[in-house]
Amino acid sequence: MEHSEGTQEKAGKSCPVWIVDAVTAAILMLVGAIVMYDSNRIGAAWAPQVGPQAGYFPFYIGLLIFVCSAVTFYQSTFSKNRNRSVFVEWGQFKQVLKVLVPSIVYAVGVGTIGIYVSSALFIGGFMLVLGKYKLLPTLIVSVGVSLVMFWMFEIQFLIPLPKGPLEAWLGY
């Protein structure tokens, strides 16, 4: 891909493909190591007269993930002709982070403060920050969606979803 002179300046503030490959490979090496460790913990041998233990096949899948990721890590990091092309410009990556970080916070929030409060904060945050909505419509939509979800799942379908301290304080 050819860059114009203006784009060439921005390319200095970008992330090359080889770094993304190396980081992804390192994360997958860790995943493979965890799978192998845990498979070994529950038994990864071939038991005589019984056959494979519970961790036998997961161990080898973890080993395969680890080895392939190690090869990818080595090639992306130490190869003379590693891929130096731009994976993502930092401006684009910031846009991704504007969605990714709140999504991670939301997922953690579901486990700590419950799905209903987390959803109201998540929807409200997106409406205010990214959508540039005013406060009143944001409150109406975010709280309204959470109340409708609560009514539908907890009252109508009797399906309990993760709740936090607010729902406990309200008696649910």
Residues 69, 94: one domain?
A: no
Q: Is the pTM of this model over 0.95?
A: no
Count of domains observed in the chain: 2
Question: Does 10 map to a domain?
Answer: no
Residues 104, 154: one domain?
A: yes
Domain of 153 in residue numbering reads as 90-168
Distance, in Å, from the CA atom of 160 to the CA atom of 116, rounded to the nearest integer, reads 11
b/e per residue, 134-163, with b = 16+ CB within 10 A?
eeeebeebbbebbeeebeeebeeeeeeeeb
Distance, in Å, from the CA atom of 135 to the CA atom of 149, rounded to the nearest integer, reads 21
Residues 97, 136: one domain?
A: yes
Residues 40, 69: one domain?
A: yes
Q: pLDDT tens-digit profile of 71-125?
A: 999 999 999 988 999 998 888 889 999 999 999 999 999 999 999 999 999 999 9
Task: Indicate the pLDDT class of residue 11, thresholds 50, 70 and 90.
Answer: very low
Question: Does 141 map to a domain?
Answer: yes
Query: Is the model's pLDDT at 1 over the cut of 50?
Result: no
Give 98's contacts (C-beta < 8 A, 6+ positions apart): 129, 130
Residues 62, 112: one domain?
A: no
Question: Does 6 map to a domain?
Answer: no
Residues 28, 68: one domain?
A: yes
